[in-house]
Amino acid sequence: MKEVLIKAVDAAQKFGAEYVEVRFEKLLKTMLTLKEGRVEAAKQGIENGAALRVLVKGAWGFASVGILNTETLTSAVLDACKMAKVASSRLKAPINLVKTKAVEDKVVVKSLKDPSKIPVEDKISMALTMNNIILGYDNRVKSCTVDYLDLIGTNYFLSSEGTYIEQEKLYVLSRITATAIEAGIFTFSREEIGSTSGYEIFDVETPEIVGEKVAKRAVEQLKAKSPKGGTYPAVLGPNVVGVFVHEAFGHLAEADLTLSGSILLSKLGKKIASDVVTFYDDGTINGAFGSSKYDEEGIPTQKTLLVKDGIVAGLMHSRETAHKFNTTPTGNMRAESFRVEPIIRMRNTFMEPKDHSFEELVSDIRFGYYLKSFRGGQANLDGTFQVGIQEAYEIVNGEVGEPVRNASISGNTLETLLKVDAAGKDFRLWPGRCGKGQTAFVCDGGPHVRIKEVLVGGSA
Amino acid sequence: MVAVPKQEDMLSLVEEAVGFASKNGADEAEAYLYQGLTTNVSIERGQIARSSRIIDQGLGVRVIVNKAVGFSYTNMLENKAIVEETILKALSFAKASKRDENWHSLPAGRPSASVEGTYDGNVVELRSEDLVKLASEMLDAAENKDKRVFPIEGGVGASHLSHAIANSSGVANFDQGTIIECNLAAIGQEKGEVTPVCFEFNAERSCSINPQWVGDEAARLAISALGAKKVETKATTVIFTQFALQQLLYFTLINAVKADYVQRNQSAFKGRIGEKVASENVTIYDDGLCRGGLRTWKFDGEGVPQQKTVIIEKGVLCNFIYDDYTAKKEGRDSTGNATRAGYLSTPNVEATNFHLMAGNKSPEELISEMGEGLIVYYLQGAHSSNPASGEFSVVATPAWKIRNGEVTYATRGAMLTGNVFHVLKNISALANNERKVGQLIAPWVLVRNVKVIGK
């Protein structure tokens, strides 16, 4: 393996590349989709491929091929070099990489239950159990989809600077959705399970626990009312706090987006949030969905402080952006597969818990909303965020009241972070998938959090 | 560049795979081969900074054993042993899976449809030098517009896609096509103010993109998005441009007309064929044959010829879209709407070119006619809509206030909430400026009575 990669790196260096990296990936996937208990197909994928990235005259060249032999790789890497050279013709500011230490390592995944050793029949039966619990929960639950994916593989990374890493990877993931119908009202409920530890995640997130949660939410939403649109105090659950930290703040702190004009660029070292706000991105949490020992530039992952007591303390960096900011890379360069270049991505992003109980957070609110679980979120460089909510309740006179359907919250990140006035002592991380052109597996989370006021969009 | 694959080589590979599966115990078998060659030149933060070439090819095999479906794919086509192992894996997965009593059969072979404007040899010939030139034209157009414009990312890409499919019921088809695309995202910056991302793009099947227009338009939007103000909470008239409309419909209406959503009780349209579901001026086709359409192909992901299907005619719901499985469940023919994510997935029901027919008003007439309201270019958070009910609660950004029939200032943080099925009924006019955005072909639409939540 290593021999073939070395030849490709040598060929690019002879061409005159300043930097060369070859990433070879081997993957085995098992996938299932069940719709109302019907196994649509039991699926497997075997794939491998190489991603070749070179820096020539200050511009990037990239090639991806699915065939691994010396001839194909060498021709692909030279192709990448030539393309980089062509691209460099219009360069104003050549790209530089910050210097890093060369690493040699071999990373082995240790799981209690290796998904590749579990017969597909068992996975089907687990998904069927989930399905049966959901459809059996209440006759108003009309449909249920269970998607399952496990992926095991190995990445081989070699750079012209002497780094060579063999890193195994493992992901187990399931997405469960259900709809319920009554009197012309449609509700939709979703949960995701994701882990890098192994199939043992289903011993904790059992089909019974997850199935009931999905079905119960779909049914309870049937009697929910639409929120009143307007500005209200709100308590966000850890699941919503997570997506808020990720979408409203996290993307702006990905240094490529910061440089692209995100509102954080002028705020480094400045106070942007209330004192209770401390954010981290951490790639080292054992088993968490966004964890990995090294990133796709061969940089070790780390726990990165992003906001400390309301002050912007750091960003997530590649070697390229670290050079621009005169700092160190943070292990956040990730690629969905060998078909694409690595870009800066979050890993496990969260808010640090504080000291309030849930009751204390809710007790002072005369009228507001408890936003417990999200459906989706999105942010913009100007700091405009939107988080759609799949489970919410009114807060009336200090107590959680009736359920509310299809709410969403929106606002400007910087204005909203200053309005965060208390955080709970609880903490939870939730797995999810983030889209930034490519999909990345991530976690996000935090404690329960109170916001003095936020714009709530109703559907009435 | 890797040699463009030959039709006969691709067809013989899929036919061999079907033969191997049948010989090894498949009741039915289908093989799908895909190859994509893509060259990109990318712009990052105001400069052309990278170029890439991606060669992706692979084989997906679907087999049926005792009415249970197994699927397996690989991209290691140079290794015959692995290809055979892949097919055997699909068989073993089918055997491990559960019988589907509704399984009928794979589609029978039919002649492919004839399509036009989907392949241009000039796209295949483009070198990265040519793409750098196109990207430079786009970048220059944006930067020369105004010094407050910052082009943050974008690029030019050219792709050549080929696919072949065969099955044990007589399907054996090959098709190839080209796509060339340029896009630019820009922001406006002035005195500490940053606008939301303003995006423009142009994708075509032949060498006819206009990068200068894309650069110029992205820059124009970015500049005019400066100085944004908040708006009042009230019901108002809204013009949705094609991007906003695509985002709104993709997660709601398009799902509601898919037969699998209907059959699975996930569509508000179930049992409503023949009913009026939209305003009279709404006519929508799913047109898999539209000349030069971004999703126009001779056949779909199961080898069934693509076709033109009327979905809504003058406001009345006419048809749903089907793949072969959902069609046979109702004893009818597939509408050629099975789509695949290359070789990586089994077919799913998906719209081809979702064509909302244009009206006869110029965009200027539409704006002047509305008097007061918003014109919305993009929506943030459309994917968090309730896919079953059609309810949405999204941010309109960037969007502009229209007053006295003229576009005045950019708005900030306006939320739009409502139900897409009410939106369909409140479409009061359509412009004559249709264009292709993703799977949607549509003009600007004017919608009355949309709830806006502002300050």
Residue where a domain terminates, one of A193, A223, A253? A223
The count of domains in chain A is 2
Mean pLDDT of A125-135: 97
* Statement to judge: residues A170 and A276 lie in one domain: no
Q: What is the mean pLDDT of residues A267-284?
A: 97
- Residues B178 and A42: their CA atoms lie apart, in Å, by 32
Token pair, residue B344, equals 């990586």
Q: Are residues A121 and A204 in the same domain?
A: yes
Residue B54: closest C-alpha in chain A: A64
The per-residue pLDDT for range A412-421, each reduced to its tens digit, is 999 999 999 9
Tell whether A353 and A287 lie within a shared domain: yes
Name the pLDDT band for A75 (thresholds 50, 70, 90): very high
Return d(Cα A273, Cα A423) in angstroms, integer. Answer: 13
Averaged confidence pLDDT in chain A: 95
| Among B136, B233, B384, beta carbon nearest to A230 | B233
Q: With bands split at pLDDT 50, 70 and 90, how would you rate the model's confidence at A406?
A: confident
pLDDT tier at A459, thresholds 50, 70, 90: low
Domain shared by A257 and A207, yes or no: no
Enumerate residues 6+ apart whose C-beta is below 8 A from B142: B149, B151, B184, B186, B215, B216, B218, B219
| For range B220-229, the mean pLDDT | 96
Confidence of residue A182 (pLDDT cuts 50, 70, 90): very high
Instruction: Give dist(CA B262, CA B249) in Å, integer.
Output: 16
Confidence check: pLDDT of B1 > 50: no
In the predicted structure, residue A170 carries a pLDDT above the cut 50: yes
Q: What per-residue confidence (pLDDT) applies to A328?
A: 98
Residue A266: strand, helix, or coil: coil
Asked whether the predicted pLDDT for residue A460 surpasses 60, the reply is no
Give residue A338's pLDDT band: very low, low, confident or very high (50, 70, 90).
Answer: very high
pLDDT reported for residue A17: 97
- Residue B21's SS3 state is helix
Cα distances from A214 to residues A32, A134, A391, B324, in angstroms, run 19, 7, 11, 30
Residues A269 and A354 grouped into a single domain: yes
The answer to whether residues A52 and A166 belong to one domain is: yes
- Are A44 and B72 an interchain contact pair (Cβ–Cβ within 8 Å)? yes
A171 in the same domain as A258: no
Of A163, A196, A223, which closes a domain? A223
Q: Is the pLDDT of residue B245 over 50?
A: yes
Residue A273 near residue A420, CB atoms below 8 Å: yes
Residue in A closest to B326 by C-alpha: A40
Residues A117, A41 share a domain: yes
- As a whole number, mean pLDDT of residues B388-404 equals 92
Q: Do A143 and B70 touch (CB under 8 A)?
A: no
- Cα Rg, chain B, nearest whole Å: 24
Same domain, A101 and A76: yes
> In chain B, what are the domain boundaries?
7-222, 228-455
Based on its alpha-carbon atoms, the radius of gyration of chain A, rounded to whole angstroms, reads 24
**CA closest to A45 among chain B residues:** B73
- Angstrom CA distances, A201 to A204, A442, B154, B454, stand at 5, 16, 40, 43
- A238-260 residue pLDDT tens: 999 999 999 999 999 999 999 99
Which residues, numbered 17 to 46 in chain A, qualify as contacts with chain B under a Cβ-Cβ cut-off of 8 Å? 35-36, 38-46
Contact B1/B54 with Cβ under 8 angstroms?
no
> Could you give the angle at the alpha carbon of B261 between the alpha carbons of B256 and B266, nearest 5°?
80
How far is the C-alpha of B428 from the C-alpha of A189, rounded, in Å?
Answer: 33
pLDDT of amino acid B3:
56
Supply the pLDDT for residue A370: 98
User: CB–CB of B453 and A457 under 8 A?
Assistant: yes
Enumerate residues 357 to 376 of chain B having a beta carbon within 8 A of any beta carbon in chain A.
none
Cross-strand bridge partners of residue B310:
B285
Same domain, A386 and A285: yes
**CB pairs below 8 Å between A and B: how many?**
286
- Residues spanned by the domain of A167: 2-223
Chain B interface includes A321 (CB < 8 A): no
Distance from CA of B29 to the nearest CA of A (A): 13
Asked if A103 and A240 sit in the same domain, the reply is: no
Tens-digit pLDDT profile for residues A352-373: 999 999 999 999 999 999 999 9
A219 and A240 housed in the same domain: no
User: What pLDDT was estimated at residue B301?
Assistant: 98
- Residue B109 in contact with partner chain A when CB distance is under 8 A: no
Closest-CA residue of chain A to B93: A42
Tell me the sheet residues that pair with A444. Answer: A349, A430
Q: Is A76 part of the contact surface with chain B (CB cutoff 8 Å)? A: yes
Separation of alpha carbons A307 and A272, rounded Å: 9
Residue (of B427, B362, B114, B384) closest to A459 by Cα position: B384
Do B377 and B398 form a contact (C-beta atoms < 8 A)? Answer: yes
Is the predicted pLDDT of residue A216 greater than 80, yes or no?
yes
User: Has residue A293 got a pLDDT over 80?
Assistant: yes
Q: What are the contacts of B328-336 at 24+ separation with CB within 8 A?
A: B328/B104, B328/B105, B329/B102, B329/B104, B329/B263, B330/B259, B330/B263, B334/B107, B334/B300, B334/B302, B334/B304, B335/B286, B335/B307, B335/B309, B336/B113, B336/B288, B336/B299, B336/B300, B336/B304, B336/B305, B336/B306, B336/B307
pLDDT digits (tens, 9 = 90+) for B163-179: 999 999 999 999 999 99
Task: Give how far the C-alpha of residue A411 lies from the chain's centroid of Cα atoms, to the nearest Å.
Answer: 22
User: What ipTM goes with this model?
Assistant: 0.93
Whether chain A has a CB inside 8 Å of the CB on B136: the answer is: yes
Where residue B230 falls (left for φ over 0; alpha for ψ -120 to 50; beta otherwise) is beta
Whether residue B259 contacts residue B323, with contact meaning beta carbons closer than 8 Å, is answered with: yes
| pLDDT single digits (tens) B74-112 | 999 988 999 999 999 999 999 999 999 999 999 999 999
Asked if A64 and B52 come within 8 Å (Cβ–Cβ), the reply is yes
pLDDT value at B4 more than 90: no
- Tokens 């036009």 correspond to what residue? B116
Instruction: Tell me which of A223, A256, A283 is where a domain ends.
Output: A223
Helix (H) or strand (E) holding A345: none
Contacts with A376 from chain B: Cβ below 8 Å: 381, 383-384
- B-facing residues of A in 219-258 (CB < 8 A) are 229-231, 256
Check which CATH number belongs to the domain holding A30 and give it.
3.30.2290.10
pLDDT at B223 over 60: yes
Q: What residues of chain A lie within 8 A of the CB of B392, using their CB?
A: 459
Shortest Cα distance, chain A CAs vs residue B392, angstroms: 7
What is the residue-wise DSSP string for A172-216? EEEEEEEEEEETTEEEEEEEEEEESS-TTHHHHS-HHHHHHHHHH
Q: Which of A119-123, A303-307, B4-8, B250-254 has the lowest mean pLDDT?
A: B4-8
pLDDT tens per residue, range B109-163: 999 999 999 999 999 999 999 999 999 999 999 999 999 999 999 999 999 999 9
- CA-nearest residue of chain B to A261? B194
Neighbours of A221 (CB within 10 A): 24
A172 and A35 Cβ atoms separated by less than 8 Å: no
Does domain B7-222 fall under CATH 3.30.2290.10? My reply is: yes
Query: Chain A window 280-319: which residues touch B at a Cβ cutoff of 8 Å?
Result: none
